[in-house]
Amino acid sequence: MSLVRCLLLAGSALVASPFLLAQSLSMNLPARVAAGSAFSVPTSGSGPGTLTIVGPGQALRRNVQLGSAVALAAGVLYNAGEYVAILSDGSDSQIGLFEVTAAQQPSTLSFLAEPSRLPVDLQNGISGTVYLFDVYHNLIVSPMPVSFDLSASSGPSQTRTVTTRYGVGWTRMNSAPKEGSAHFVAHAGDVSSTRVIDEVPGDPCNLSMTATPDGVKAKLQTAPVRDCSGNPVPDGTVVTFTASYNGMQSTVDVPLKKDIAQVEMPVPHGATISVASGVVAGNQIRWSGQ
């Protein structure tokens, strides 16, 4: 028998032997699977074995029949991340790496709106940040549109649409010119989340008072106190009346009641009376007793 014929016969014997071929252990892992989706891992080999899948997100093991596909049902592997897969027949093992990606359908919005209360008519005073998650609370990292809608009780609503970057979208909005509760809504896909923002009047604007005699005292009273957008400043806001005479000062703090502050105080003739609220100063009156 020639050498060539020997080699051919030996080759034929190898090809014809299913036993020898079945001994090689291998698996065909997908490069990536979507979180929570069903998938299968075809294997080669023979007899019983195990498939162990381990990553920071999950660890699981399945008994398998080598030579057939290992089916992982929907909802079994659901945390996004990198995973090591180990196929073992007890004496030999094969190792592979694959990725579980977040599902592309948003299920939860983590929506942070700030502040919960602010003055009216403030440019970029309100911020909203959204983190997008799938049903398994994986961050959806592929870019997705998120719209923000801020609607006040009066006036037009503001809408902004942004595209998420690394799972995050954010925006800034202006507070409305009129006081009231505003609804701040973030939408992505079929989900939305709402926060309520209290838009309150700002500082008093154009603070003014009048003084009239009331017996031996002066009766001091402000005009209705408004902010610069015309919103009434809340009751309880403190207004300070000050009378100055010959280097002496007397001061009275009065809370606003029904938009005005009033007080009766003894004021000597020739004194200067002033009014203020917070950092806002109003008019001054030279008191002559009339």
Partner 1 sequence: MIRHPLLFGCALALPLTLCAQQASVQVQQPDLQGSRQLESLTATSVVRDYLQSWKAFRAALDRNAPRLLDQAFVGTARTKLSDTIAEQNKLGIHTHYVDRAHRLQIVFYSPDGLSIQLVDHVTYDEQVMQGNTVLAMQPIHARCLVVLTPSQTSWQVRIFQATAE
Judged by beta carbon, residue 81 or residue 119, the one nearer partner 1 is 81
For the bound state, the minimum distance from the C-beta of residue 146 to partner 1, rounded and expressed in Å, comes to 14
The Cα 88–Cα 163 span in angstroms is 44
Query: Among 124, 104, 135, 283, which residue's Cα sits nearest to residue 211?
Result: 283
For the bound state, the minimum distance from the C-beta of residue 141 to partner 1, rounded and expressed in Å, comes to 6
Judged by beta carbon, residue 82 or residue 198, the one nearer partner 1 is 82
* Gap between the terminal Cα atoms of the chain: 140
Judged by beta carbon, residue 172 or residue 257, the one nearer partner 1 is 172
Judged by beta carbon, residue 173 or residue 207, the one nearer partner 1 is 173
For the bound state, the minimum distance from the C-beta of residue 91 to partner 1, rounded and expressed in Å, comes to 13
Judged by beta carbon, residue 86 or residue 263, the one nearer partner 1 is 86
> Environment class of residue 248 by beta-carbon count within 10 Å: exposed (0-12), middle (13-18) or buried (19+)?
exposed
Residues that bind partner 1 (CB under 8 A): 31-32, 52, 54-61, 79-82, 84, 86, 88, 93, 95, 97, 99, 101-102, 112, 114, 127, 129, 131, 137-139, 141, 165-168, 170, 172
| Helix-strand-coil split of the chain, %, nearest 5 | 5, 55, 40
> Environment class of residue 263 by beta-carbon count within 10 Å: exposed (0-12), middle (13-18) or buried (19+)?
middle
Secondary structure string (H, E, C) spanning 152-169: CCCCCCEEEEEECECCEE
For the bound state, the minimum distance from the C-beta of residue 202 to partner 1, rounded and expressed in Å, comes to 21
For the bound state, the minimum distance from the C-beta of residue 252 to partner 1, rounded and expressed in Å, comes to 40
